[in-house]
Structure formats: C-alpha cells, structure tokens
C-alpha cells in the first residue's frame, strides 16, 4: 500500500511519519508511533474508547485517517500529565473510583477534557451530554460524572 508523509504534533512533540494510505489514526498511534493510550474498542465509532483531541476538537481516532492529520495538533491521554503530575481529571478519576477495568478511561478523560476546555463550569447535564458518546461497562457512569464535576471544581478553586 502507498505510504503518505504526515507531520503533526503529538502531545506537543513534533512527529514526521510515513503512514499507509487509508490507515486509521488509532492504528498509526498505537502500532507505529507507540502511543497506546487511545484504546481500540468497537473500531466503528460507537464506543468512544479511541477518543483524542485534534486541534482541540474531540475526535474518534478509529474513524480518522492518519493522512488527514497533516499539520494537526493531536492530544491523547498520554499527554495529560505534566512533569509527572496527573492532570486534575486523572486525579479526580483516581480519587473518585471512576475507573474500574480502565478500558473506557482514556476516552472518557479526553471527552471530559474537551468539555472543560470549552466550559470550565459545567452542569451535571453538560457532563452527561459530553460523555454520551463514551461507553463504560463497569462503573454505572455516576462516579465518572462526579469525577468530572470534581475536577471542574478543583480547577475553579485553583483559578480563584
Ligand atoms: S474504537 Fe473508536 S469509537 Fe470505539
Ligand atoms: S471502567 Fe471498565 S469500561 Fe469503564
């Protein structure tokens, strides 16, 4: 299959790769670049486990062709912690027991980050809507919702 050059930033690092034409961003990230934080669940756009941010927008990496990401800024869960310190969302998920098997967690975190980036003070309904594209088979969702609200509160206290 033809290889296509693609350059982008991944969690702030410049990347220049040749990817097979037609390969998904999920596959390129996991199998070529070595970032396994986006998870391959359904691989058809229904579970949200593969969610990443592309130029600040929440996107499903299983439905995104890697070759369309030329020039993009991509953020995955692997890029959330800074200097070895967990992102407030990661801390809230851990403290609030919002992760069990953990398979949905990277996608949930990215959906939550996308929400808090555009709305730092969300309501419960805002959180429910923001994670509505992400399936969790373990937690019953409530600990996840509470963790996102808790991270938002923690952020607002930091600002104040
Ligand atoms: S793996 Fe992409 S939505 Fe399920
Ligand atoms: S923690 Fe297992 S699927 Fe969500």
Ligand whose nearest atom lies closest to the CA of 104:
2
Q: What's the rounded Cα separation, in Å, for the pair 72 and 55?
A: 6
Confidence of residue 157 (pLDDT cuts 50, 70, 90): low
Structure tokens at 115: 């929400």
Give the pLDDT confidence score for residue 160 in this predicted structure.
Answer: 42
Ligand 2 touching residue 108 (CB < 6 A): no
Ligand 1 touching residue 25 (CB < 6 A): no
Same fold, 3-79 and 88-159: no
> Is the Cβ–Cβ distance between 143 and 98 less than 8 Å?
yes
CA proximity to 99, closest of 128, 61, 137:
137
Q: What is the mean pLDDT of the chain?
A: 96
Give the pLDDT confidence score for residue 158 in this predicted structure.
Answer: 62
Mean pLDDT of the 29-49 span: 98
Q: What's the rounded Cα separation, in Å, for the pair 60 and 51?
A: 5
CA proximity to 70, closest of 114, 111, 28, 115:
28
Q: Work out whether the CA dihedral 155, 158, 159, 160 comes out positive or negative.
A: positive
> Is the Cβ–Cβ distance between 110 and 58 less than 8 Å?
yes
Q: How does DSSP classify residue 82?
A: B
What percent of the chain is predicted at pLDDT more than 70?
A: 98
Give the pLDDT confidence score for residue 126 in this predicted structure.
Answer: 98
Domain ranges for the chain, please list them: 3-79, 88-159
Ligand 1 touching residue 106 (CB < 6 A): no
> Is the Cβ–Cβ distance between 98 and 134 less than 8 Å?
no
Q: Which CATH class is domain 3-79?
A: alpha beta
Q: Which atom of ligand 1 is nearest to the CA of 51?
A: 2
pLDDT for 102-156, tens place per residue? 999 999 999 999 999 999 999 999 999 999 999 999 999 999 999 999 999 988 7
Which architecture characterizes domain 88-159 according to CATH? Orthogonal Bundle (1.10)
What percent of the chain is predicted at pLDDT more than 90?
A: 95
């Amino acid at each position: 299959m033809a290889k296509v050059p693609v350059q982008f930033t991944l969690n702030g690092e410049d990347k220049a790769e040749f990817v097979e034409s037609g390969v998904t961003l999920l596959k390129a990230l996991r199998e070529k670049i070595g970032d396994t934080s986006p998870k391959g669940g359904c691989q058809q756009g229904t579970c949200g486990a593969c969610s990443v941010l592309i130029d600040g927008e929440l996107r499903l990496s299983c439905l995104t062709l890697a070759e369309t990401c030329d020039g993009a800024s991509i953020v995955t869960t692997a890029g959330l912690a800074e200097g070895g310190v967990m992102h407030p969302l990661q801390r809230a998920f851990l403290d609030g027991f919002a992760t069990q098997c953990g398979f949905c967690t990277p996608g949930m975190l990215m959906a939550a980050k996308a929400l808090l980036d555009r709305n730092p003070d969300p309501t419960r309904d805002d959180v429910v809507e923001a994670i509505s594209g992400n399936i969790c088979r373990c937690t019953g969702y409530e600990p996840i919702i509470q963790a996102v609200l808790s991270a938002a509160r923690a952020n607002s206290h930091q600002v104040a």
